[in-house]
């Protein structure tokens, strides 16, 4: 991994920071994306200290803003001549319906539409750097997900869990469609379930029953370092060189939900995502 450029979104905490640390320890040039620059810089210094690798950079971007994603992508392309691995790791959960700067329901916006646009804007750089890899952090929650194209923004009766499961299903449909479209380019696209990780991705966004459930489940969670293992494996292992369009858990290829293999749904989601992010 020495001198390979790796971009990790949501890298200032949880599995993102653990992934950044491990890959930096392998000698990679890691670029940490964070919405909060103060927290991001604190995390960057920690990654440098632990990995003893000074090639760890920090860049700011808010995945809840299409304008910010476009600004970030232009700056990234201007600064780096290559991109070997893109890890779309950032994710959020909220049981309160909120909207992004562009008016998207927050979970579909940050968990799917943001990474969708970011990946498309960086795809030429990934092709130029091939063989290269795209890794999308999804979740086993997708097994309960359904793409509701009549209400993809969840305007009707809102369920945080339903919106989250839909967004995580979108991650996998996007991965499979992306792998199909990138066939023959040398760029692979895979996704993964990290496990139920003890992280703060839902902090201050959960209330009532959802917050109680998360507190009760905390003793059964795994630590970020363990949750990062599959992301690290897909980013660095020669065992997955050339493998694309697959879903992994615990560093093993697994079957995803039946709904995730629907080619018509995947293409429809791509077209809708393209239209929404063209704003």
For the question of residue 80 being annotated catalytic, the response is: no
> pLDDT tens digit string along 222-241?
587 888 999 999 999 999 99
Average pLDDT, the chain: 92
Q: What is the domain range of residue 257?
A: 5-276
- Cβ-based neighbour number of residue 243 at 10 Å: 15
Q: Is the pLDDT of residue 54 over 90?
A: yes
Phi then psi for residue 167, to 5 deg, are -65, -40
Beta bridge partners of residue 88, listed in sequence order: 136
CATH assignment at residue 25? 3.40.50.720
pLDDT at site 214: 52
Structure tokens belonging to residue 249: 């858990």
Q: Is the pLDDT of residue 118 over 60?
A: yes
> pLDDT tens digit string along 35-46?
999 999 999 999
Query: Roughly what angle, to the nearest 10 degrees, separates helices 229-236 and 14-25?
Result: 40
Q: Which residue has the higher pLDDT, 195 or 28?
A: 28
Q: Is the pLDDT of residue 213 over 60?
A: no
Euclidean distance between CA atoms 175 and 168, whole angstroms: 11
pLDDT at site 204: 45
How many residues can be counted in the chain?
A: 279
Structure tokens belonging to residue 226: 């363990």
Q: pTM for the full model?
A: 0.92
Query: Which residue in the list 80, 164, 233, 247 is annotated as catalytic?
Result: 164
Euclidean distance between CA atoms 144 and 30, whole angstroms: 34
Question: Helix, strand or coil for residue 149?
Answer: coil
**Residue carrying structure tokens 């893109």:** 86
Q: Is the pLDDT of residue 203 over 50?
A: no
Domain count, the chain: 1
Q: Is the pLDDT of residue 197 over 60?
A: no
């Amino acid at each position: 991994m020495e001198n390979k450029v790796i971009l990790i979104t949501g890298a200032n905490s949880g599995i993102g920071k653990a992934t950044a640390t491990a890959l930096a320890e392998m000698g990679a040039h890691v670029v940490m994306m964070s919405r909060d620059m103060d927290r991001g810089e604190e995390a960057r210094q920690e990654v440098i200290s632990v990995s003893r690798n000074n090639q760890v950079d920090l860049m700011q971007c808010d995945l809840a803003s299409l304008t910010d994603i476009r600004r970030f992508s232009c700056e990234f392309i201007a600064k780096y001549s290559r991109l070997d691995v893109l890890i779309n790791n950032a994710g959020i959960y909220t049981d309160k319906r909120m909207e992004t700067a562009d008016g998207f329901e927050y979970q579909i916006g940050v968990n799917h539409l943001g990474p969708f646009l970011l990946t498309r804007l960086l795809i030429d750089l990934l092709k130029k750097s091939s063989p290269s890899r795209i890794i999308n952090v999804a979740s086993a929650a997708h097994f309960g997900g359904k793409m509701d194209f009549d209400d993809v923004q969840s305007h009707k009766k809102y369920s945080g869990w339903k919106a989250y499961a839909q967004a995580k299903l979108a991650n996998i449909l996007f991965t499979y469609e992306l792998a199909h479209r990138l066939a023959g380019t040398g760029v692979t696209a895979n996704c993964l379930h990290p496990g139920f990780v003890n992280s703060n991705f839902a902090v201050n966004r959960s209330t009532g029953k959802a917050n109680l459930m998360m507190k009760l489940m905390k003793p059964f969670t795994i630590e970020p370092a363990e949750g990062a293992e599959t992301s690290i494996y897909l980013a660095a292992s020669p065992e997955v060189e050339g493998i694309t369009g697959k879903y992994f858990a615990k560093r093993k290829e697994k079957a995803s939900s039946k709904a995730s293999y629907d080619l018509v749904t995947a293409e429809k989601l791509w077209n809708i995502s393209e239209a929404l992010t063209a704003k």
